[in-house]
Amino acid sequence: MPLLSLGLLVGSLVLTYLQPEWTGVTMIMVLLGFFASIAGSYYVNRFTGNMPMFKELPKILKGLSDEYTLLMYKLPVPFVLVEPGGLTTIKVKNQSGEIGFHEGKWEHNQRMKFLRQFGGEESLGKPDAQAAAQAQDLEKYLAKRLPADVAVPVRGVALFISPEAQLDTAQSPLPVLWSKELKGWLRNKGRRSTLPRETRRALAKALEI
């Protein structure tokens, strides 16, 4: 993607020099190069940057017992934690800066935020709603694969992995945590009663694990 955007931008410059009357074509190439650059930056930040999500999350969860299994990119939701008491979808966020939830609204204060987003960084959005949507997607997936009499609790959390993130999210309707808080939350406040053995077997079969 970065090479494509660079090629389009260079090509537009060459075309401007060789065929100055082709203004429309040149502008289309510039716009395509611009959007390709943004898309490329988004995927670089997500998968190959300083903190690619698929590498950071296993590190964050390291130390949990064998009762926990992290599934990555195997289900409709990218990150799902299988626990003794159910399933937790994890909406991973890599934004830094001051992030808060007050009076029903999300706030994000960050240095050079506009330039970061211009360069492809995903905007904050509504982490609680995003986490809830992932949990709903997983519930729909399970409903097609579990026996009708088997109920497995599904919940969603949002997780910020940047060490520069400062959270003030106690008022959020869903758990919004910093990376170093997740394991403690799972072991204490977020721990749920263990599911019956037959339920866990049915779940393992549905998830193919």
**pLDDT (tens digit, 0 to 9) for every residue of the chain, 209 residues total?**
444 444 544 545 554 555 565 565 556 655 555 555 555 444 445 444 445 678 899 999 999 999 999 999 999 999 999 999 999 999 999 998 999 999 999 999 966 544 444 444 578 999 999 999 999 999 999 999 999 999 999 999 999 999 999 999 999 999 999 999 999 999 999 999 999 999 999 999 999 99
pLDDT at position 129 is 97
Amino acid at 46: R
pLDDT at position 54 is 80
Calpha distance 165→85 (Å, rounded) = 29
What is the pTM (predicted TM-score) of this model? Answer: 0.74
Tell me how far apart the terminal alpha carbons of the chain are, to the nearest angstrom: 34
b/e sequence 41-80, b meaning 16+ C-beta within 10 Å: bbeebbeeeebebeebbeebbeebeeeeebbeeebebbbb
